[in-house]
Amino acid sequence: MTESGVRGAKPQRVRPGGRGARVPGWMVPTGLIMLSAIPVVAGALRLGELAGGAAVTPANARFFATPLPVVSHVIGASLYGIVGAFQFAKRFRRRRPAWHRMTGRILVVCGLVAALSGLWMTVFHPRPEGDGDLLAAFRLVFGTAMAVSLVLGFAAVRRRDFRRHHDWMIRAYAIGVAAGTQAFTQLPWMLLVGPLGETPRALLVTAGWVINLAVAEWIIRRP
């Protein structure tokens, strides 16, 4: 290339945080797995409690009375969070499109199981101490939003609308892994103030969903 050609070439600009910015491929799925690990561990402890015949207390009596919904919720949400994280590994996804399609179908089922079992428990389980009407209402809103997002994402890919499929699946995943974020939104209050009352708990749990959805929308809409 001649000197004049070099001078005439326009340098390509990469906007910080834009789609042209390079992020190591392992960082996103690793971060999502770490975030999902919090509810996965909590769920595993709950399943161990049920399988091991732990003492029935006011805090866990509802799970012993009807174990199927909570077992379904823990397994569905755990698979959805951990396996779903690998859908954000772009190179892996592009190199193995068949894997992406196969696990995508499994994840839709896992996500729907997690969302619908969560809705069932919100409606039919006795509310534990600290959970009031406000939190129940928010659980119904975001649980329904997750299920609807999964259905819309699946419908979009069936008609080969990959852009909308991508967007709806990101929203569904953001809602589905919010339990990890909710641990961080509640912890400062518990350390600085003390036990959570009904209203603070409802607002701080909801903050976890809102934060995740805000990040999801930023990812979807960034240039």
Is residue 11 included in any domain, yes or no? no
Cβ atoms of residues 181 and 212 within 8 Å: yes
In a domain, 1, yes or no: no
Residue 134 within a domain: yes
pLDDT value at position 54?
A: 84
- Of residues 172, 187, 208, 148, the one with CA closest to residue 81: 172
- pTM of the prediction? 0.86
Residue 14 in this model has a pLDDT that exceeds 80: no
* Residue 4 pLDDT grade (very low, low, confident, very high; cuts 50, 70, 90): very low
Q: Is residue 2 part of a domain?
A: no
CA 201, 205, 207, 208: dihedral to nearest 10 degrees?
A: 150
Q: How many domains does the structure of the chain reveal? A: 1
Average pLDDT over residues 161-174: 96
Tens digits of residue pLDDT in 169-208: 999 999 999 999 999 999 999 999 988 999 999 999 999 9
Residue 93 belongs to what domain range? 25-221
What is the rounded average pLDDT of the residues 49-63? 88
Structural domain contains residue 16: no
Burial class of 22 by CB neighbour count within 10 A (0 to 12, 13 to 18, 19+)? exposed
- Please report whether residue 88 resides in a domain: yes
pLDDT at 25: 67
Residues 64-97 have pLDDT tens digits of 999 999 999 999 999 999 999 999 888 878 888 8
Q: Considering the domain boundaries, does residue 200 fall inside one?
A: yes
Q: What are phi and psi of 26, to 5 degrees?
A: -85, -15
| Residue 2 pLDDT greater than 50, yes or no | no
**Candidate from 17-21, 143-147, 153-157, 206-210 with smallest mean pLDDT:** 17-21
Inside any domain, residue 13: no
35 confidence band (pLDDT: 50, 70, 90): very high
Residue in 165, 162, 222 with CA at minimum distance from that of residue 21? 222
Residues near 24 by Cβ (< 8 Å), separated by ≥ 6? none
